Amino acid sequence: MAVSAEAAPDAKAGTGEHAPRARRGARWRTSLTFWCFVAPFLIGLLVFTVIPVVWSAYLSFFDATNTVSPTPEDFVGFGNYTAMLTDPAFQDSLITFSVFAAFIVPVTFACSLGLALMLNRVRLMRAFFRSVFFLPFACSYVVAALVWKMSIFNGVRYGLANTVLDLFGVDEIAWLFRPDPPWFWLVIVSLRLWIQVGFYMILFIAALQQIPQHLYEAAYVDGAKPGRQTFWHITLPQLRATSVAVLMLILIAAYQAFDEFLLLVGTMPSARPPLVYLYQTSLGMQQELGTGSAGALILALLIALVTLLQGKFLGFGNSEER
């Protein structure tokens, strides 16, 4: 559609007197095309994001238990916000999330960069290895969480992980459901790495291939040794723009962590990130849509704050200035 809309003015340009009308028609058609492509997404954004967010903000000032249309008598002002901010379970969930983010962000970054560097040097079957590491990204968290929970890390003797441990004479471990020792972090982190690393690895490979080869040659001429020296002084600085973007993406993905936590450790109070807690408060048995909405807005403010700070310190968006 876009092609025909652009081609139209050229085709009619030679006929002289029809040109203005044709241009108007072309403009109209171009904007129709634009709206045809954009409207479904915009309507979806409006219906499924903007309206719910505004409605949720409205609900956050009411005692909206079991209802999405509270009456004026249910008005509680900022009551839901104070309840949420003083709720120890909500505070715990924020701590849980911080621990998770502090761990998963650097580990994912290091693993994907490491894999990218290795694959970039591989001569043999490069496309094969790239696909193998990228493929898990196509798997849904729900499916992966079930595989991790029910076959690899189940607590009985025939679980894959326990079978391996058994070979070394180690007793079986209940990987999930027990906070001490917190083996569940191993399950969650390994699952997330398995799914995510391939994607960021591809981003890094693309960036690595953009680095001009002559930089390395010049460094070699100047006596820099290939390896650590060129990595720290050429590769890493050249990857700055990509690194900042990848860090941001990993952090955002960590904020959105929900599926695997709900499925793997949803009932364990010490392993509940904020989204799972809010889901249970507002959509589970409790149906407290007012307090849940207040919590969601508090969380949104926190995310905005962290993103702004991160942008300030890492300079996301100013990467051209380097």
Q: How far is the CB of 166 from another protein (least distance, A)?
A: 10
Please count the other Cβ atoms lying within 10 Å of the Cβ belonging to residue 35. Answer: 11
Q: CB under 8 Å to 302, separation ≥6 — which residues?
A: 94
d(CA 283, CA 289): 7
Q: x-or-dash pattern for another protein, window 270-289, by CB under 8 A?
A: x----x---xx--xxxxxx-
CB nearer to another protein: give 66 or 213. Answer: 66
Residue 288 pairs in a beta bridge with: 65
Binding of residue 157 to another protein (CB under 8 A): yes
Q: How far is the CB of 170 from another protein (least distance, A)?
A: 13
Binding of residue 150 to another protein (CB under 8 A): yes
Q: x-or-dash pattern for another protein, window 95-134, by CB under 8 A?
A: ----------------------------------------
Q: How far is the CB of 259 from another protein (least distance, A)?
A: 6
* Of the candidate residues 209, 210, 256, 318, the single one contacting another protein (CB under 8 A): 256
Print the SS3 string covering 220-287.
HHCCCCCCHHHHHHHHHHHCHHHHHHHHHHHHHHHHCCCHHHHHHHCCCHHHCCHHHHHHHHHCCCCC
d(CA 235, CA 223): 16
Tell which positions 78-97 bind another protein, by CB under 8 A.
88-89
CB nearer to another protein: give 216 or 258. Answer: 258
- Binding window for another protein (CB under 8 A); candidates: 22-30, 62-70, 102-110, 237-245: 62-70
Binding of residue 45 to another protein (CB under 8 A): yes
Amino acid in the structure at residue 27: R
Q: How far is the CB of 194 from another protein (least distance, A)?
A: 18
Query: Residue 90 in contact with residue 269, Cβ under 8 Å?
Result: no
Q: How far is the CB of 295 from another protein (least distance, A)?
A: 14
d(CA 119, CA 11): 49
Q: CB under 8 Å to 284, separation ≥6 — which residues?
A: none
Binding of residue 66 to another protein (CB under 8 A): yes
d(CA 123, CA 121): 6
Binding of residue 142 to another protein (CB under 8 A): yes
CB nearer to another protein: give 104 or 239. Answer: 104
d(CA 96, CA 182): 12
CB nearer to another protein: give 47 or 164. Answer: 47
Binding of residue 171 to another protein (CB under 8 A): yes
Give the interface size with another protein as a residue count (CB under 8 A): 53
Q: CB under 8 Å to 322, separation ≥6 — which residues?
A: 240, 241
Binding of residue 177 to another protein (CB under 8 A): yes
d(CA 247, CA 253): 10
Residues in contact with another protein by the rule CB under 8 A: 40-41, 43-49, 65-68, 88-89, 140, 142, 145-146, 150, 153-157, 159, 171, 174-180, 256, 258-259, 262-263, 266-270, 275, 279-280, 283-288
